Structure 1
Amino acid sequence: MKWSQTLIPTLKESPSEAEIDSHKLMIRAGLIRRITSGAYAYLPLGTLVLNKVIAIVREEMNRSGAIEVFLPALQHLDLLKESGRLDVFGADLITFQDRHGKETVLSPTHEEVITYIVKNEINSYKQLPITLYQIQTKFRDEMRPRFGVLRSKEFIMKDAYSFDLDEKGLNNSYQLMYDAYCRIFDRCRLDYIIAEADSGAMGGDASHEFMVPSPVGEDILILCRNCGYSANRERAEAAPLPQQENYSLRKLEEIYTPDKRTIREISDFLNISQHHMVKTLIYTSQEQLFAVLLRGDHEVNEARLSGVLGLKSFELASRETIERATGANVGFTGPVGLKIKIIADQAVTTLSNFVTGANKTDYHLLNVNSERDFKIDQIANIRYVTQGDNCPHCNHVLEISQGIEIGHVFKLGTKYTSALKAHYLDADGKEKPKVMGCYGIGVNRIIAAIIEISHDENGIIWPMSLAPYHVIIIPVNVKDTICMDAARSIYDDMTNMKGIDVLLDDRDLRPGVKFKDADLIGIPVKIIIGKKYTETKELEIKLRKSGEVFLTHIENTKQELERIRQHLIKTERSAN
């Protein structure tokens, strides 16, 4: 492709709307343009990269035995109601009424649709197992779209769905997808970590998240460098904290704490560390109240709490409900004298003589101890891991960092097939629900993640596998007939080389502008035809990532370029 014949609108400055490097560079390099909040158009360079990601995903999905389909972006709300997920998505759904008054939704995901199809088309054990996948646009009405394509209202996903006879079959399908994901992300040259994950709104028993470590990632990654344990924030757990030994129970004491409600305010007022305090949260579920106790510096993990209690839905009690249950204003709740079920995090049981609310406005209690002063009904691990916690497997100190989620695999079991009655007849003629798995990849996110981890002050640094063009030919002076003849000759040769995509910068611009643009858009190899060529017939070949420079005569260009290409591919593969 010649630069003059395509559309690459580069920018010198970052737009004010862009917050992170990938967003800035995707706009500056002319990959995308914002059309409205959370929706982007892909320009020619962005489309080339997008199609290379899609090609890798499609090749590896087909290799795994999955079959491609293409599902509609529109679906009616009845399917979401039937599966029980209408309330789960809530305000994230983009809905409208068609001209017939029928409520329709732009699909946020396609579990219900694919299950509906399989329900009607596959009804015998002889037709299973099968895995179907698509590459399709999804829609969610994000309250606050940000970070470019990392968090948008419209995004492209590869989603696959496996259907099996039983749990054993699901395990096999899950492993096939897990392995395919590893191959996909390896080929995209992503440095990723596989973490145990909570299934969230998807439901199911088990899941793994594929994350690229990055300070701009919105997922929290918990990692043990010693044994390799990794999990996202919702799934992660820490080793139990050690129990205190040889302590004496002090006398329970009530203390006046006027208008001091928060853990921080009480900690400062009493000059007591937050980890020696216990906070009491009151929740309600189907009009039943229960209390959750946590160490003052810990946060409740509601995903874990849901699993421990076996509750699908619960919420923090209202101010009025708390005040009726405790007899005190909000901010002074404590477990002593509380007449509702109490669930305590394990860390609370390691404390003695701690501080809690007194269930009396403007008062707290000192030297509170469980068993003596109140009864715990249930002890469980219901908190988020914090800095300084140890690994549950090897007791090594855990690391907490951020990551960009690029893929997620779920064992759904019969959650959707039971709800939508997607059954099959087994060999004995008995009706059973199909056992299902779900597997998603954020196609746009792969592009942003690559840029976040592979760029410098000059622009993007593409790996060979995803680069929109592998080589850019830069004639320094397009009015120099000798240089332009050489550039066209090399360009013609390169376009016939298998596995090489080439861009000829034939613009009549200053050399500095062309060099800056080449670095900005991140093409791995530059071929520079300038004064040296007119003097010695030598071309300059410069690598974008390392800055290495090679000189070669024009007749050796193809051989030298192939050598460099193989070197880059080998280097990228070994770095992975």
Structure 2
Amino acid sequence: MRASKYHINTLKEAPSDAEVVSHKLMTRAGMIRKLAGGIYTYMPLGLRVIRKVEAIVREEMQAAGAIELLMPVVQPAELWMESGRWEQYGPELLRIKDRHQRDFVLQPTSEEVITDIARAEIHSWRQLPLNFFHIQTKFRDERRPRFGVMRGREFTMKDAYSFDRDEAGAQASYDIMYQAYMRIFQRLGLEFRAVAADTGSIGGSRSHEFQVIADTGEDLLVYNPESDYAANIELAEAVALASERPPARDALERAPTPGAAKCEDVAALLKLPLTRTVKSIVLATDGDEGAQIWLLMLRGDHELNEIKAGKVPGLDQGFRFATEAEIIEHFGCEPGYLGPIGTARPVRVIADRTVANMSDFVCGANARDFHYTGVNWGRDVPEPERVADLRNVVAGDPAPDGKGTLAIQRGIEVGHVFFLGTKYSKALNATFLDENGKPAVMQMGCYGIGITRIVGAAIEQNHDERGIVWPMALAPFQVVVCPVGWGKSEAVRSAATELYEALLAQGVEAVLDDRDLRPGSMFADWELVGVPLRVTIGDRGLKDGVVEVQARRDAEAAKVPAGEALGEVLARMRTLA
């Protein structure tokens, strides 16, 4: 590719609405242009990167036995009504009507459509297992699209869906996809981690996220450096910080705590460690007989994990935070001074594992400006109705596998695999005839990769003050040949063209910058775009018989004999691959 015949339009400044590095750099490098909130045109350079991601994903999907098809972007509402997600999915599902006033959706995902295909096409156990995949545009009507391609409304995803005769087969299909994903992200040249995850709105009972490690990531990843344990913080198990409850030593006392509505303030006022305090979180569940109030108790320095709370029996059908009126009705006090002792009306008390093993703790006295000290289970307050894992883990917590302590890092989710079981096949009656000629419901798995999100995540992980630093597998061009004085020197033009054509002959994705720019502007463009290798050819160097080769991450260029430039570039490409 000759730069003069390509569309390269870099910008000195990022748009004012660009919040993260990938959004800024993709815009400045001319890879995307904003059309509307969360909707982008992928310009030629950006599209080249996307196509590279797609190619690797497609190759590994096919190698794992998945079969490609293409499902439509627009889907009839009837299928979503049949699965129950027409009402459940929420406002992110963009609902539209055609000219006949029939309801359709712009697909955010394709579980319903693929299950409809399976129930029409798969009739016998002899046809199973099957795994279909496609790479297609998705649309989710995000309330606040942000971070460029990281959280846009329109994006490209790879979906795969497996169908099996039984759960054992489905688990085997899941494992095949898991390993395929490991190969995909290894080939992309990204630092990543596979972590156990919550299944979320898509459903199912087994799930792993594939997270690209980046300091700007929204997700917190919990892992054990001493073992293979890794989980999203939503799912990471928090063990009790004491194996058993110490005996009570202190008497129960009602202590004045004027103006101290937070555990941190209470601990400071009473000159006690924050770890001696217990915070009260009040939830409500709605039923035919009115609201049921729940008191969740966590240590003062811990934070509630709402995903875990949503798995507590009684809260697992949906909960909300109690209103101030409900809190006053049940506790006789405004928030900030709440506790389980002497509530105005009965509440259901759930204690976090760590709190259940605490003694002599501090909690609210259900009276403004007062807290109890020396509180003990059994003696001062009934044992909690239930003990559950309610909190987010923190770095240094004991690992649930018993092998050391936990560490936390940030990541960007770019892939997710789910074991669905019969969630969709049962709802849509996707059955087959088993070996005995009897109908059986298919077992399903689904496997997604955010194609365009990978591009943004790769930049978040690989950049510096000058621009993008692409892994070789993702770069729009692998090598750029930069002739200094293109318009003035026939020797430079000849040497640059010869090397460029030799690289093409070797199958290298090379670009020759024949725009006759000043060196500073030319180098700045390609550093911003992030091409992994640059070869600089100038009159002065040619007189000495050398050219300069520099990898994008190198601080300085290396001088190489002009006749050895091709071999040097090919060798460097192998080391960078």
TM range (shorter): over 0.9
- Name the aligned partner's letter for residue 424 of structure 1: F
Give CA-to-partner distance per residue, 1:34-73, whole Å, 9 cap, x none. Answer: 2222122111111111101100000000000001111111
- Name the aligned partner's letter for residue 355 of structure 1: V
Using the TM superposition, give the Cα deviation of residue 106 of structure 1 relative to its aligned residue in structure 2, in angstroms.
1.5
Using the TM superposition, give the Cα deviation of residue 161 of structure 1 relative to its aligned residue in structure 2, in angstroms.
0.7
CA contact (8 A) 2:546 2:559 kept: no
Structure 1 residues 561 and 353: alpha-carbon distance in aligned structure 2, compared to 1, 3 A threshold: closer
Q: Matched residues, percent identical?
A: 44
CA distance in 2, matches of 1:73, 1:396: 47
Partner of 2:513: 505
Q: Normalized against structure 1, the TM-score is what?
A: 0.93
Using the TM superposition, give the Cα deviation of residue 175 of structure 1 relative to its aligned residue in structure 2, in angstroms.
1.0
Partner of 2:208: 208
Partner of 1:316: 321
CA distance in 2, matches of 1:560, 1:242: 60
Which of 557-566 and 118-127 deviates more?
Answer: 557-566
Structure 1 residues 424 and 533: alpha-carbon distance in aligned structure 2, compared to 1, 3 A threshold: same
Partner of 1:495: 504
Partner of 2:274: 274
Q: 1:481 aligns with which of 484, 490, 493?
A: 490
CA contact (8 A) 2:362 2:374 kept: yes
Alignment of 1:536-555 (within 5 A): 536-546=544-554, 547-554=556-563
Partner of 2:91: 91
Partner of 1:529: 537
Partner of 1:518: 526
Please tell me whether residue 36 in structure 1 is matched to residue 36 in structure 2. Answer: yes
- Name the aligned partner's letter for residue 318 of structure 1: T
Give the secondary structure class of the aligned counterpart of 1:307: coil
Partner of 2:293: 289
Using the TM superposition, give the Cα deviation of residue 239 of structure 1 relative to its aligned residue in structure 2, in angstroms.
3.1
Alignment of 1:180-329 (within 5 A): 180-243=180-243, 247-258=247-258, 260-287=260-287, 288-309=292-313, 311-329=316-334
Structure 1 residues 97 and 258: alpha-carbon distance in aligned structure 2, compared to 1, 3 A threshold: farther
CA distance in 1, matches of 2:173, 2:549: 46
Partner of 1:432: 440
Which of 87-96 and 116-125 deviates more?
Answer: 87-96
Partner of 1:387: 395
Using the TM superposition, give the Cα deviation of residue 247 of structure 1 relative to its aligned residue in structure 2, in angstroms.
4.3
CA distance in 2, matches of 1:245, 1:504: 71
- Name the aligned partner's letter for residue 357 of structure 1: G
CA distance in 2, matches of 1:501, 1:75: 39
Using the TM superposition, give the Cα deviation of residue 341 of structure 1 relative to its aligned residue in structure 2, in angstroms.
2.4
- Name the aligned partner's letter for residue 211 of structure 2: M
Q: Which runs of 5+ in 1 are unaligned?
A: 570-576
- Name the aligned partner's letter for residue 353 of structure 1: D
Q: 1:455 aligns with which of 463, 483, 491?
A: 463
CA distance in 1, matches of 2:300, 2:562: 71
Which of 186-195 and 417-426 deviates more?
Answer: 417-426
Using the TM superposition, give the Cα deviation of residue 317 of structure 1 relative to its aligned residue in structure 2, in angstroms.
2.1
Partner of 2:407: 399
CA distance in 1, matches of 2:205, 2:66: 22
CA distance in 2, matches of 1:138, 1:109: 7
Give CA-to-partner distance per residue, 1:182-238, whole Å, 9 cap, x none. Answer: 111011001111111111112111111111221110111111111231110111013
CA contact (8 A) 1:332 1:359 kept: yes
Give the secondary structure class of the aligned counterpart of 1:348: helix
Q: Normalized against structure 2, the TM-score is what?
A: 0.93
Structure 1 residues 278 and 560: alpha-carbon distance in aligned structure 2, compared to 1, 3 A threshold: closer
Give the secondary structure class of the aligned counterpart of 2:401: coil
CA distance in 2, matches of 1:8, 1:337: 71
CA contact (8 A) 2:246 2:359 kept: no
CA distance in 2, matches of 1:483, 1:497: 21
CA contact (8 A) 2:240 2:357 kept: no
- Name the aligned partner's letter for residue 304 of structure 2: V
CA distance in 2, matches of 1:372, 1:96: 60
CA distance in 2, matches of 1:53, 1:321: 52
CA distance in 2, matches of 1:291, 1:248: 23
Give CA-to-partner distance per residue, 1:474-529, whole Å, 9 cap, x none. Answer: 1111222221133223333333322x111111112212111221222121222222
CA distance in 2, matches of 1:101, 1:21: 43
Give the secondary structure class of the aligned counterpart of 1:527: strand
Which of 27-36 and 53-62 deviates more?
Answer: 27-36
CA distance in 2, matches of 1:395, 1:319: 43
CA distance in 1, matches of 2:194, 2:212: 9
Using the TM superposition, give the Cα deviation of residue 465 of structure 1 relative to its aligned residue in structure 2, in angstroms.
1.4
CA distance in 2, matches of 1:258, 1:99: 65
Partner of 2:355: 348
Structure 1 residues 76 and 256: alpha-carbon distance in aligned structure 2, compared to 1, 3 A threshold: farther
CA contact (8 A) 1:552 1:560 kept: no
Give CA-to-partner distance per residue, 1:400-459, whole Å, 9 cap, x none. Answer: 221111211111111111122212221112222111111111112222222222222222
Using the TM superposition, give the Cα deviation of residue 78 of structure 1 relative to its aligned residue in structure 2, in angstroms.
3.4
CA distance in 2, matches of 1:88, 1:388: 38
CA distance in 1, matches of 2:439, 2:378: 51
CA distance in 1, matches of 2:220, 2:81: 31
The CA RMSD measured in Å over matched residues stands at 2.1
Partner of 2:56: 56
Give CA-to-partner distance per residue, 1:2-37, whole Å, 9 cap, x none. Answer: 111111111223332222222222112111122222
How many pairs does the alignment contain?
567
CA distance in 2, matches of 1:408, 1:368: 44
CA distance in 1, matches of 2:255, 2:86: 48
Give the secondary structure class of the aligned counterpart of 2:514: coil
CA distance in 1, matches of 2:573, 2:104: 50
Please tell me whether residue 336 in structure 1 is matched to residue 341 in structure 2. Answer: yes
Structure 1 residues 383 and 86: alpha-carbon distance in aligned structure 2, compared to 1, 3 A threshold: farther
- Name the aligned partner's letter for residue 300 of structure 1: L
CA contact (8 A) 2:548 2:557 kept: no
Structure 1 residues 333 and 149: alpha-carbon distance in aligned structure 2, compared to 1, 3 A threshold: same
CA distance in 1, matches of 2:416, 2:81: 24
Using the TM superposition, give the Cα deviation of residue 260 of structure 1 relative to its aligned residue in structure 2, in angstroms.
4.2
